[in-house]
Structure 1
Amino acid sequence: MKLDLVVRAARILTLDPERPVATALGVLGDRIVGFDEEIAGLEALRTEDFGDATVTPGLIDAHCHTAWWGLGLAAIDLAAARGLDELYAMIAAEVARLDALGDADAWVHGTGFNQSHHDGAFPDIARLDELTGNRPLYLRHTSGHASITNSATLRLVGALDPGFADPVGGVVVRDAAGRPTGLVEEAAQGLVQALLLPYSTERLVDALEAATSRYAAQGITSFTEAGVGGGWIGHSPIEVAAYQAAAESGRLHARAQLMPAIDALRPLAGHAADFAREGAGAGLDLGIRFGFGDELVRFGHVKVFLDGSLLGATAAVTEDYCGHEHNTGYLLDEPAVYRERALAAYRSGWPLALHAIGDAAIDLALDVIEEAQERYGARAVPCRIEHFGIARPDQVERAARLSIAVTPQAGFIGPLGDQMAARVGAERESWLYRGRSVIDAGILLAGSSDLPVADNDLRRGMQAAVDRRTDSGAVLGAAEAITPEEALRTHTEWAARATGQIADKGTLERGKLADLTVFSASPLTAPRIDELEIVATVLGGALSHDARSAAS
């Protein structure tokens, strides 16, 4: 027998306790067939020898927003602005560019706004109107839970009309005189997005190719897209078709697991035996549910937004935000509505992924998951709480009892940690984006970037999980620090378990997909994980990224 590929390196870290380290790995088709002595003497069509580098299981980003980020690559990068004058200059330059193209109807798009880069200030709507005139404007906050618009956009959505009412779960923010400030929060963003949606499949494929080629350069072989097809997070009613088209045309450079937004689900009916206990459930047409798909594009959990963001002080908390008297954020809908919709999805075969950042939202998430499991039984794949941002000690204990997986973002600690700590104050700071306490409780800790809220340099995120250091040099919750091996497992084994894919990925074992990340040195022993280079990325035995060829 001739193998398709043999991979050699000084260290192959399998994360499999039966064979933790190897120096050679054999691949047939897109699967691993053996290591070291098991493949000794076998010929291969090709060999990749990575010398002194270290090979690990392919990195998994368990929660990100790939289409959103890919589409935003062509927008103004507001994250680079420091001070509102610089931001205004960026907008003016974009307006001039669009004017030169002669496209009178083109929108001004920007992404990555963070008020902390502007001493806490937001753009003045009068200044934005002066710069943009009648052009619609859509600037996305880095959290994704707010946007900044101008009067032209607000006029299009009817927000300037007498009697306008905010939609459920969102707010068009107004000043003391009742005039819109240009800030649009949470579900109210859907009013603006309705003017832009749906994106064409072709444009989405372009965005996915642009995004996932960059994923490969970061060592990422799999990701979970946290919301498609509905709500303010979706981009098209047929968004899944874009992922399929990208995969079929070789333009998807990492494996995609797709979470349908709960808004994309609809009532299901079928044989009485299928719904004997409580009538129709909720799901996708034809009864498609979790796990449907193939190795490149597959359905994951159903995504449910319970609250907003910590940076925008819209996450639902039980105590006021610091400096925001009588502000505890808010749930995006009534608890009874969430309970009804989430239970219908769960009983139809969809494990739940509940976005809950504030501790009040986490309480609701735990209640819903507990009721779902008590009424319909626990699933083989764990329900998830996305972010688990401000988690009280009792909530950690309860999540462990319910066998829930959580996905806090260690990558937030550097660029956003100081802001988050200021929002919650010293008494709650140790509850933020936990690590050590989650692992010690026996909870699956899945690593994720939440791109584009933070970047998807997972090496930086892993280093932050280890040292918990913010950009100011402060340490955020020192007791929550984890080890380098645990940090690696959050983006490999534990992410695979939390996404229900451990049979195919997460560790390097015979029969599993040949998805590999090649580091310049071992992430377990390097002085800093974030200083390691990604030498190569292997997806199913094929190179999806090779820094060696770029350097030669």
Structure 2
Amino acid sequence: MKLDLLLRNANIITMDGERPHASSLGIWQGMVVGLDDDVAGMDAATVLDLDGATVTPGFIDAHCHTVWFGLGLAELDVSGAHGLEELYALLEGATSGPMDADPAAPAGWLLATGFSHQQHSGTFPDIRELDRITGDRPLFMRHNSGHMAVVNTAALRLAGAHAPSYRDPDGGVIVRDASGQPTGLVQETAQTLIQALILPYSIENIETALDRATQHYASEGITSFTEAGAGGGWIGHSPVELAAYQRAAATGRLHARAQVMPVLDVLHALDGHPDDGGQSKPMGLDLGIASGFGDNMLSLGPAKVFLDGSLMGETAAVSAEYCSHGHRDNAGNVGYFQASPEQLQAKIESVYAAGWSIAAHAIGDRAVDLALEIIGTCDRKYGRHAMPNRIEHASLTRPDQLGRMAAAGIAVTPQASFFLDGGDGMAVSLGPDRLPWAYRASSFLAAGVTLAGSSDRPVANGNVLRGMQAFVDRTTSSGAVFGNPDERLTPRQALAAYTTGAARATGTESVKGSLTTGKFADFTVLSGSPLTANDIGELQVLATAVGGTFSYNTLFFLNKPLSQRPVPVPAHAS
């Protein structure tokens, strides 16, 4: 047998408990066929001597927004502004430039991404100043949480939502001042009023965004990811978004394996046999397609449903009011659900009956309660699906909820990437009494809950190595440890979150997550070991391979010592 690729003289961290380390790895037809003695003496079309470099399973980002990220790479990036004057200067520079600078943007619109009020002392732009800068040119500037946006008067008037008498949509708010005038901040589902004027993006533009985004992923060692919401709602970009994914996969412009979660809004009633849904009329996609459909490069994940909002925007549904009243400046704020619990229960149950697993966005502990209740009811009525149900973020989790999660087999995706930029602000919002419940990690594992590494990119920095280090040290921008220090993970646990844990959470652990014979040859080559590095985030990604084929490669420098190798710079560094 002649191998396609043989890696040797490597420090291979397999993440396979039965065979944790190796120095050689054989690959044939995209699969791992053996390690060390299994492949000793075998010939290969390509042999790479890695000179002691570290090889890990390919990184899996179990919750990100890839199309949003890819489109944002071509929009005005305001994430680097600190202070409103810097923000205004960036906007002024953009308005003085050509109106078609972003080819994907609708004509005349100014689209910006990466705004965070926490970088501006907790304040939001003055709509009067935005109007002065932009004039009649409509502005849509996404907040980095994704759960709110900043717009100008021109955009609100185009949407017919400027008048004080305009009624807020269910699950959203057009924030107004004491006189009833809009402040320019739109929260949650209210964003769709503006987005309806922009969407849909063309398949070609979405495909280009996927190409751009997943090339960046490859440079960071990512071989698989889950698109956490597509096709509709405020997080989707086109009703035919999956077609862009299919086209990107077919044309070689998808550089990592993709699992796509359709948002609950795009699933509709199915006219099948009366017995198909039991007590509930099933909802899904045509032909009865459900979670798991697809192939090794592109498949469907759970159905994504938003139960509440965000901690950054203080719209997440919590059981006790926020300690700082933030931009809302009103006592008694406990956030809100995206719809009534009864409506959410009915929709989710109908989807689950049609074979879809559920990925419930639940950030506040009150929303986590609702997720546990609804998923538990679905399990009892219809049985447990093969693909795990998930609670996305699970940001504020009380001690009594941990055992219920484990018993229900629910996976969670808390983002350590939030700690650096958002940790200090969230600590103020939550207060000291419940801060130990925030963004758990170690206690999830101790309770037997599957913990999946993820970034929520572009809400936060998506660099996996930095995410691992954040799980290990939980450091905020002020240098404090976010939440409970006992929630810190060991380096091996942090690596497991982005490999075996993420594979388990996405229902793919039989083929991903470890370098084991019979699994995909998805791997990442690093300049050092994440298990022993002083700072995991300082390691370099030297190469990334999907199915044994390199999606990113600097290995032609391997004849030089590590100290002499150039630092790879991604095309779109974040």
Q: Which amino acid aligns with 2:214?
A: T
Q: Which residue of 1 aligns with 2:229?
A: 227
1:213 lines up with 2:215 in the alignment: yes
Q: Deviations over 1:172-192 (max 9, x none)?
A: 110000000000000010011
Distance, in Å, in 1 between the alignment partners of 2:100 and 2:267 is 43
1:290 lines up with 2:291 in the alignment: yes
Distance, in Å, in 2 between the alignment partners of 1:264 and 1:222 is 24
Q: Which residue of 2 aligns with 1:426?
A: 432
Q: Which amino acid aligns with 2:34?
A: G
Q: Post-superposition, which runs of at least 4 consecutive aligned residues in structure 1 deviate over 6 A? A: 100-104
Q: Deviations over 1:215-245 (max 9, x none)?
A: 0011000000000011111111100010111
Residue aligned with 2:96, SS: helix
Are the aligned partners of 1:98 and 1:106 in contact in 2 as well (CA < 8 Å)?
no
Distance, in Å, in 1 between the alignment partners of 2:46 and 2:10 is 18
Shift of the alpha carbon at 1:279?
4.9
Are the aligned partners of 1:9 and 1:54 in contact in 2 as well (CA < 8 Å)?
no
Shift of the alpha carbon at 1:400?
1.6
Shift of the alpha carbon at 1:361?
0.7
Q: Which residue of 2 aligns with 1:531?
A: 538
Q: Which amino acid aligns with 1:538?
A: A
Q: Which residue of 2 aligns with 1:459?
A: 465
Shift of the alpha carbon at 1:273?
4.0
Shift of the alpha carbon at 1:378?
1.7
Q: Deviations over 1:277-331 (max 9, x none)?
A: 2253011111001111111110001100000010100011111111222111111
Moved more, 47-56 or 92-101: 92-101
Distance, in Å, in 2 between the alignment partners of 1:315 and 1:354 is 13
Q: Which amino acid aligns with 1:296?
A: M
Q: Which amino acid aligns with 1:18?
A: E
1:415 lines up with 2:417 in the alignment: no
Are the aligned partners of 1:7 and 1:26 in contact in 2 as well (CA < 8 Å)?
yes
Aligned equivalent of 2:495, options 488, 492, 497: 488
Residue aligned with 1:82, SS: coil
Are the aligned partners of 2:280 and 2:349 in contact in 1 as well (CA < 8 Å)?
no
Residue aligned with 1:354, SS: strand
Are the aligned partners of 1:435 and 1:465 in contact in 2 as well (CA < 8 Å)?
yes
Moved more, 160-169 or 504-513: 160-169
Distance, in Å, in 2 between the alignment partners of 1:56 and 1:499 is 19
Are the aligned partners of 2:5 and 2:27 in contact in 1 as well (CA < 8 Å)?
yes
Please give the residue correspondences for 1:166-205 in structure 2 after superposition, counting only pairs within 5 Å.
Answer: 166-205=168-207
Q: TM-score, normalised by structure 2?
A: 0.94
Moved more, 157-166 or 320-329: 157-166
Q: Which residue of 2 aligns with 1:129?
A: 131
Q: Which residue of 2 aligns with 1:402?
A: 408
Q: Which residue of 1 aligns with 2:315?
A: 314
Q: Which amino acid aligns with 1:485?
A: R
Q: Which residue of 2 aligns with 1:545?
A: 552
Are the aligned partners of 2:163 and 2:181 in contact in 1 as well (CA < 8 Å)?
no
Distance, in Å, in 1 between the alignment partners of 2:446 and 2:151 is 44
Residue aligned with 1:232, SS: coil
CA RMSD, 1 decimal: 1.5
Shift of the alpha carbon at 1:260?
0.5
Distance, in Å, in 2 between the alignment partners of 1:458 and 1:13 is 16
Moved more, 288-297 or 47-56: 47-56
Shift of the alpha carbon at 1:274?
2.5
Residue aligned with 1:491, SS: helix
Please give the residue correspondences for 1:2-151 in structure 2 after superposition, counting only pairs within 5 Å.
Answer: 2-98=2-98, 105-151=107-153
Shift of the alpha carbon at 1:519?
1.3
Q: Which residue of 1 aligns with 2:562?
A: none
Are the aligned partners of 2:443 and 2:487 in contact in 1 as well (CA < 8 Å)?
yes
Distance, in Å, in 2 between the alignment partners of 1:16 and 1:480 is 24
Are the aligned partners of 2:100 and 2:108 in contact in 1 as well (CA < 8 Å)?
no
Moved more, 450-459 or 44-53: 44-53
Distance, in Å, in 1 between the alignment partners of 2:347 and 2:99 is 46
Are the aligned partners of 1:167 and 1:188 in contact in 2 as well (CA < 8 Å)?
yes
Moved more, 381-390 or 61-70: 381-390
Residue aligned with 1:80, SS: coil
Q: Which amino acid aligns with 2:397?
A: A
Change (3 A) 1:475 1:100: closer
Distance, in Å, in 1 between the alignment partners of 2:211 and 2:274 is 43
Q: Which amino acid aligns with 1:443?
A: V
Instruction: Give the fraction of aligned pairs with identical amino acids, expressed as a percent.
Output: 53
Are the aligned partners of 1:75 and 1:111 in contact in 2 as well (CA < 8 Å)?
yes
Shift of the alpha carbon at 1:505?
0.4
Shift of the alpha carbon at 1:248?
0.7
Are the aligned partners of 1:9 and 1:55 in contact in 2 as well (CA < 8 Å)?
no
Please give the residue correspondences for 1:207-286 in structure 2 after superposition, counting only pairs within 5 Å.
Answer: 207-275=209-277, 277-286=278-287
Distance, in Å, in 2 between the alignment partners of 1:505 and 1:109 is 37
Are the aligned partners of 1:257 and 1:298 in contact in 2 as well (CA < 8 Å)?
yes
1:474 lines up with 2:480 in the alignment: yes
Distance, in Å, in 1 between the alignment partners of 2:292 and 2:8 is 33
Shift of the alpha carbon at 1:150?
0.5
Q: Which amino acid aligns with 2:46?
A: R
Are the aligned partners of 1:105 and 1:135 in contact in 2 as well (CA < 8 Å)?
no
Q: Which amino acid aligns with 1:293?
A: G
Distance, in Å, in 2 between the alignment partners of 1:465 and 1:107 is 39
Change (3 A) 1:8 1:268: same
Distance, in Å, in 2 between the alignment partners of 1:415 and 1:8 is 40
Q: Which residue of 1 aligns with 2:393?
A: 387
Moved more, 40-49 or 447-456: 40-49
Shift of the alpha carbon at 1:102?
13
Residue aligned with 1:98, SS: coil
Residue aligned with 2:480, SS: coil
